[in-house]
Amino acid sequence: MQSVNVDTELVDRRTWIGGSDAAAIVGRSPWSTPLKTYLEKVSDEPVLMNDDNRTETMRLGKVVEQSLCEEACRRLQAELLELSVRKRAQDRPYIAAEADCLVRLPGEAGTKAVLEIKTTGFGSDWEHGIPEYYEPQLYVQAHVHDVRCVIACPLVHQGHRWELQMHAMEIQPGPLEAILGDLDDFWQRVQERRPPSPEVGEALLRWPRATGEFKVATEGELILLEDWSRLNAEIEKLKEQRDEVRHGIQVAVSKHQGLVSPDGKVLCTWRGHDRTSLDSKRLKKEDPELYERYSKTTHVRPLLNKVRT
């Protein structure tokens, strides 16, 4: 067994697409989006591969990674060839991926495969095999390392114990080409500085500041503004109804801590507690220098609807 030196150019994630980027780019990640990934790639600040960017679970996973690779090889009766191999794809230098280990599977063919160790507390995600959001990463790893089989080995928390599972995935040409096509399009956008369309909740991320004059609204945009105004009015009515119901419950609870069902199940609570807060107005008046020293200025861009229905 031997280890391979990691390409030093692969320290800054802005210069390449990694396996963990793939799920976001193709729209399968529960944690990121194409726009967020794009903004990382075009950032002025380096996005470094180091322990500072890893969660505690990820750091502990790296600590035990070699032992888990060795245990997986023992169970598979496979030969462990290399550990922690990070490299670029030969046909697409802007795509790179790290394999936790490369192995040779038993049998006359001696098939090479990537072993991917996952340390996760979400055992339920793996009940039916490899989660959909991990598949793009495994396809990228397989392409970069030129293998047709990837074995995902999650260390999952099941009840009060940890279990090392193994899930093999054969790489299919169709899905691989589709993923690579999406990555090609994304990298072209990065090179041309053409950001992807923002998803719901990402408009401020895409356009944080107003830089132009007022724009003449189209008919469709007028309809959106009217719908927004109508929905706001409906929400206000619902808030009034909610407040009336909440007041009725407070009257029912009165001086008590809350309400319980006849069998003793807690239905609601209305308890008090002390809260300490900073009197910023007083601080600004009595010690303006200290107030200024710890003040923070941020840019906000509220969306205000002037249309009334």
The pLDDT tens digits of the residues spanning 260-307 come to: 999 999 999 999 999 999 999 999 999 999 999 999 999 989 999 999
Query: In the predicted model, is pLDDT for residue 2 greater than 50?
Result: no
Coil, strand or helix at 95 = strand
Look at residues 86, 77, 85, 87 and name the one whose alpha carbon lies nearest to residue 101. 85
Same domain for 304 and 169: no
Query: In the predicted model, is pLDDT for residue 59 greater than 70?
Result: no
The span from the CA of 115 to the CA of 83, in Å, is 10
* Tokens encoding 224: 């959106």
Please identify which residue in the block is written with the tokens 């009034």.
Answer: 240
What would the mean pLDDT of 162-179 be, rounded to a whole number?
A: 94
Instruction: Please report whether residue 176 resides in a domain.
Output: yes
Query: In the predicted model, is pLDDT for residue 62 greater than 80?
Result: no
Instruction: Please report whether residue 210 resides in a domain.
Output: no
What would the mean pLDDT of 168-175 be, rounded to a whole number?
A: 95
Query: In the predicted model, is pLDDT for residue 10 greater than 60?
Result: no
Instruction: Please report whether residue 42 resides in a domain.
Output: yes
Query: In the predicted model, is pLDDT for residue 240 greater than 50?
Result: yes
Same domain for 165 and 70: yes
Query: In the predicted model, is pLDDT for residue 179 greater than 80?
Result: yes
* Tokens encoding 53: 């960017």
Q: How many CA atoms lie within 13 A of 96 on its CB side?
A: 20
Please identify which residue in the block is written with the tokens 């339920």.
Answer: 124
Same domain for 89 and 50: yes
Give residues with Cβ within 8 angstroms of 228, minimum separation 6: 305, 307
Query: In the predicted model, is pLDDT for residue 187 greater than 80?
Result: yes
Query: In the predicted model, is pLDDT for residue 3 greater than 90?
Result: no
Domain tally, the chain: 2
Residue 123, CA distances (Å) to 30, 131, 151 in order = 16, 11, 17
Residue 53: the pLDDT is: 53
Helix 135-144 to helix 173-192 angle (10° resolution) is 90
* Tokens encoding 7: 């390409």
* Tokens encoding 246: 């909440």
Instruction: Please report whether residue 179 resides in a domain.
Output: yes
* pLDDT tier, 172 (very low <50, low <70, confident <90, very high otherwise): very high
- Specify whether the backbone of 259 is left (phi greater than 0), alpha (psi in -120 to 50) or beta: beta
Query: In the predicted model, is pLDDT for residue 122 greater than 90?
Result: no
From 175, 205, 235, the end of a domain falls on 205
Same domain for 252 and 163: no
What digits encode the pLDDT tens for the residues 202-217? 998 889 899 889 999 9
Give residues with Cβ within 8 angstroms of 253, minimum separation 6: 259, 268, 270
Instruction: Please report whether residue 150 resides in a domain.
Output: yes
Residue 160: the pLDDT is: 77
Residue 49: the pLDDT is: 59
Domain with 252, as residue range(s), is 219-268+300-309
* Tokens encoding 179: 């993923």
Strands, E assignment, the chain: 2-3, 79-88, 96-104, 112-120, 149-158, 161-164, 167-170, 258-260, 266-269
Instruction: Please report whether residue 100 resides in a domain.
Output: yes
Same domain for 305 and 190: no
What digits encode the pLDDT tens for the residues 77-111? 999 999 988 899 999 999 999 999 999 999 866 79
Same domain for 53 and 178: yes
Report the DSSP beta bridge partners of residue 260. Answer: 266
Q: How many CA atoms lie within 13 A of 34 on its CB side?
A: 20
Residue 55, CA distances (Å) to 51, 89, 117, 144 in order = 8, 27, 15, 25
Same domain for 171 and 245: no
Looking at every residue in the chain, the average pLDDT score rounds to 89
Residue 1: the pLDDT is: 46
Same domain for 237 and 147: no
Same domain for 254 and 111: no
Residue 60: the pLDDT is: 62
For residue 100, what is the domain's CATH number? 3.90.320.10
The span from the CA of 286 to the CA of 188, in Å, is 56
Query: In the predicted model, is pLDDT for residue 54 greater than 60?
Result: no
Residue 124: the pLDDT is: 79
What would the mean pLDDT of 1-30 be, rounded to a whole number?
A: 76
- Cβ-contact 88, 10 below 8 angstroms: yes
What would the mean pLDDT of 108-128 be, rounded to a whole number?
A: 83
What would the mean pLDDT of 30-47 be, rounded to a whole number?
A: 90
Same domain for 254 and 146: no
Percent of the chain at pLDDT above 90?
73
Write out the H or E segment, with its range, that includes residue 238: helix 219-253
Same domain for 125 and 225: no
Residue 64: the pLDDT is: 81
CA dihedral 282, 283, 285, 291 (to 10 degrees): -150
Same domain for 70 and 171: yes
Instruction: Please report whether residue 280 resides in a domain.
Output: no
Instruction: Please report whether residue 64 resides in a domain.
Output: yes
Query: In the predicted model, is pLDDT for residue 8 greater than 70?
Result: no
The span from the CA of 116 to the CA of 63, in Å, is 14
